[in-house]
Amino acid sequence: MELIPHLFRTEYRKIIAVLCKRFGFDEIETAEDIASDTFMSATQTWGLQGIPEHPVAWLYTVAKNKARNFLHRQATFNNKVIPETALRENASTLPEYEIDLSPQNIIDSQLQMMFAICHPSIAPEAQIGLSLRILCGFGIEEIADAFLTKKETINKRLYRAKEKLREENIPIALPGMAEIDDRLAIVLATLYLLFSEGYYSISNNRTVRKELCFEAMRLCYMLVENKHTNKPPVNALLSLMCFHASRFEARLNRNGEMILYEEQDTTLWDADLISKGGYFLNQSATGTQLSRYHLEAAIAYWNTQKDDTKEKWENILQLYNQLLQIEYAPIAALNRTFALSKANGKEEAIIEAEKLNLTNNHFYYTLLGELYTGIDNTKAKQHFEKALSLAKTLTDKQTIEKKIDKI
Amino acid sequence: MKDYLLVFRADFSLMPNRTPEEMQAMSKRWMDWIGSIAAQNKLAGVGNRLEGTGRVLKGDSTITNGPYAEIKESIGGYSIVKADSYEAAIELAKGCPILKQGGNVEVREISEN
């Protein structure tokens, strides 16, 4: 039955967001249990009686009933065991057991959950795990697979993160206008990590990797769709993701190994995603804030231009110059130096590369090898060999060996 | 690592009028130089460029025009870099495009106290 995994993927996260929002983080496990039980019921009932006419509505009804029963039990418990509380609550509000699974409340709940999970007091690693579980409806096994780690590790990590959500009493709500930019920055950083996790993961499970990327894009698109969160950096990040995702099919071979940019079959680049990337990049070009996502999206745009023009490399170089001023990262420093060699020549790039001093990074020696190729092939070979000794994955080693053979 | 202030000085009145192409080339040299420092993870603050205008206020309440009352050279801008020593800071300053325009770079260690 292919329908249930599909519905699980699309509906589980909606049910859990709405229930979590309704119950609060104190009952996050209950929300998870009810969502899981709903699918358990579907598997059993549909297996016996066939698939209902409106499977999604069926799921929502069952989830609502289970949630109502829980709220009822909880109220009874409160009435009997904690009478004062019951008296106080009954005076103002009668217990309301109705669960709102309307499209609008689903979206609102998911957005609010996004901000709650990406709260400054939750560690980034835990934010990713919680996002995958609650916002994307990933199973523990899938999360473990994406992180190449054991299920127990993920379970522990999620358990601690949920404890933290409770301890810190984090509200499930959109932040106010005054703090939205700061809070949005954390949400974007998490979505960016989520995307990168899929894009650069060393997991061999290609489907999971791709899903991670598309989930990050889906969540980012939800932010673009909401008028409070539709800000320039959000559009820039979505643009960046579209440009990168456009090369998803071209950058991996049949065995899931990396194909270098220069060797990619450009007919496999997704023209639709490239044009969407361009659209969101335009949308991001308002206001005065130039975020790292703007710069990275612009670099990604130039990378969709296959022709090796002077203009392309000069633009990429200046974008990296700016990006490194906002935030240093070794990979950005290496890419900047590669762009420098294309824009200003190899001699200058060699001098600059040797200043980077990233001596435990195999990409550093690969870059030096590339730069010396044709200028001093003996040195080039030495650098490639050093890179080979530092490279960890088989794909990286094969790539470097090919370069040595070419000299 | 300590922070060092780089102060760029030149006699800007001697700067010839430049064509847009020359200005663009000059701006590229600055951006590539700052980018190079940033790529080494040694940029603490990109700093600012200063306008050619200025006022000097003295203790006797006199105010004179221009930032350079007594000397022709004026400060055109500043950046802050990270380095282990004056020698290392000077290595970074060596690439500054102002040196090729007849200007100079003053390197000052920023006090940590």
Residues A294-323 have a mean pLDDT of 95
For residue range A120-152, what is the model confidence (pLDDT) as tens digits? 988 888 888 899 888 988 888 888 877 778 899
Residue B10 φ/ψ, nearest 5 degrees: -165, 165
- Rounded CA-CA distance B89/A356 in Å is 15
Q: Which tokens go with A160?
A: 């601690």
**Calpha distance A162→A131 (Å, rounded):** 12
CB contact under 8 A, B35 and A317: yes
Q: Are A35 and A124 in contact (CB under 8 A)?
A: no
- A402 token code pair: 């090919």
Over the Cα atoms of chain A, what is R_g? 25
Task: Determine the distance in angstroms separating the CA of A306 from the nearest CA of chain B, rounded to an integer.
Answer: 24
- Between chains, do A333 and B31 touch, taking CB under 8 Å as contact? no
Cβ-Cβ contacts under 8 Å between A and B: the total is: 46
Q: What is the pTM of this model?
A: 0.86
Domain ranges of chain A: 1-101, 102-219, 231-306, 308-407
Decide: residue A381, CB within 10 A, 0-12 exposed, 13-18 middle, 19+ buried. Answer: middle
- The CB density around residue A43, as the number of other CB atoms within 10 Å, is 13
> Rounded to the nearest 10 degrees, what angle do helices A232-245 and A271-284 cross at?
160
More confident residue, A248 or A258: A248
In this prediction the ipTM stands at 0.90
Residues of A in contact with B38 (CB under 8 A): 321, 324-325, 328, 333
Confidence band for A92, pLDDT divided at 50, 70 and 90 = very low
Q: What average pLDDT does chain A have?
A: 89
Q: Which helix (H) or strand (E) holds A92?
A: helix A83-92
pLDDT higher than 60, residue A87: no
Per-residue pLDDT tens over the stretch B9-66: 988 777 777 888 888 999 999 999 999 999 999 999 999 999 888 888 888 988 888 7
Architecture of the domain whose range is A308-407: Alpha Horseshoe (1.25)
Distance from CA of B105 to the nearest CA of A (A): 20
pLDDT over 70 at B6, yes or no: yes
How far is it, in rounded angstroms, from Cα A263 to Cα A368? 20
> Which chain B residues have any C-beta within 8 angstroms of a chain A C-beta?
28, 31-32, 34-36, 38-41, 43, 46
Are the Cβ atoms of A325 and B28 closer than 8 angstroms?
no
B2-109 homologous superfamily: Dimeric alpha+beta barrel (3.30.70.1060)
What chain B residue is nearest to A336 in terms of C-alpha separation?
A: B39
Instruction: Return the CA Rg of chain B.
Output: 16
